[in-house]
Chains A and B, each alone.
Chain A
């Protein structure tokens, strides 16, 4: 697919989204911030009725602001509880732009997707019980690098997935979208029906493309309806379906559709839907459709999707699907101060000292019963009283559970020198610890190193199912690039620390490094590199444990442990259970 066609598709996606923001769910805009993204957003903005909300959802929005709650100033002024709308309900009837969606907090994501499903927000906070309508479309700005993605649950609900990084500025152009066209299309939308065969074809095509979620075919159908409305057709035509398939199904494909008979494979892709001002469109459509009539619609869809997928894209997509939730801290995180202060755990009576947070609702509750009495006293003293009299005794301080989440990173030596069966025991130990971890709500990650490289086998997770899947494929053998393994672990531990969580590193090795950091073989350089890598842990104060798993524990591993300032545990014949116990004991003492 040429760049011009791709850009025209991106523009069409903006139009279809503008026609039905709620129905099509939204747009996932995978793109770095830049002029191309700005151009696309400006086009979309122009296509949306200005009187309808267009709200921005900042990355670290507080729950109360997002969902709604008590309006403090209004409450104090009125002397009775006054509710305040949250951002989700303020966006009702319009569009919500989610900035940096790849770093969205999981709680924010849950509230957002719940509102998208229910079309309303349910608030049970601050003594208020409210239901507020929240029908909006979402534009998720996803600036994720290779393996950073916005949450899978959110992506699943967004109809259009666009990758704007493929465009250079000069390859794009402004495409004026007429707001009147959009308004007219919105009027027509409700009357557009989908045929039963069309539903079948879309579902069949989605299945052939390996798309599991049922939201995808549903979103594709809504996109097809929007397309029919936009191009002023009375019902959904084949062009609407193929367009929707290109925009909604193609980016989700995990399987390349089966190769068909040559005559169909050579079929040119269906023509671009011409701009709406083309009045002859209807007639053309009728004519075009006739030759296709005996060909199954789902095959036409697949051909359209195929044409839209340049080779290579699929591999990238497949790789990304597996790591969809692997979210590491991006560059932007370095400036971000950790917001994690633990989970709220009620409130206590107390003084407002530096850093403590007043729980306003509880404070008001504490003050409330005394109001008539205090008012009488105050009026007796100086004749007038403010609406609400709060005294120092009423202050209630919010308490947070300070325990931060621990993430245990296993760094496993999978080289030939570390016997293979140890690897199996290490895997077993990780699973045992994980089973224990979710009781404490901790997470586990795993890095393996062998040959010349280290890789993150299992990004931090709490899910046993995920861990099992990742660990099943761990191969062994090759050289011992200890330095690379430690560097990789340090980077992960460092990013975890920045998020306000506590990393603990467990290194399982025999300490016999023989591959240097640059991948070159040679023992002396390799050991030197490993030592410098180990020192980073000491400098950063990351707690770590080195488990010597060679049959005859030697001085090498102990030396590394010293450099790392790590606890050293020689465990020559440990099995998974012993390993797990040793790690639990070692980390508990910290």
Chain B
């Protein structure tokens, strides 16, 4: 049990990646708090060490902050925080309306920030923490057909991990991201080109691949890895 006695908060929206993370941490002995906004994704989850927290709107900073403060009071010590908040890309590209643009940015970028912010204070207060953010490959390289809003929202997550890494490192808190291509559950699909991986028999990443990468980055021994982005895309990033 690699995470026994650890409390992990996961935010899952728009993908099963966060759900897979929660299940993996439970299997490794952690207490898990799972933020969700899609009841169907969590319908079958049941565990004595799992607390489900319904979020009405990941764009609502006030809701995320008050929820985080409540969780921090209830658990006293938060050790790990994983944000896997995404939305499907739009096929309208540059013709997105301002409303759609704001929806994308505020859900992915602001949702991630305000999920982490109140929990980070708790981590800094007890001088230990691991933050992992799941982002799209579209935030790392240009993918043909990807909307500017999706690319911007995902690229912004890299800025968040570097900022947390450099400001919270003094409190032994590390922050890193996992940049993924399209996953087998249909999430993180971006653009119109072929973005599959090149590993024979494993051309498409899975939510479980993401969960294992997050486990690696949030382990106690990952204490010297911070401000980095792990490109988990089956080799697509090279091409």
Asked if A and B bind, the verdict is no
Residues on B lying within 8 angstroms of A by beta carbon are none
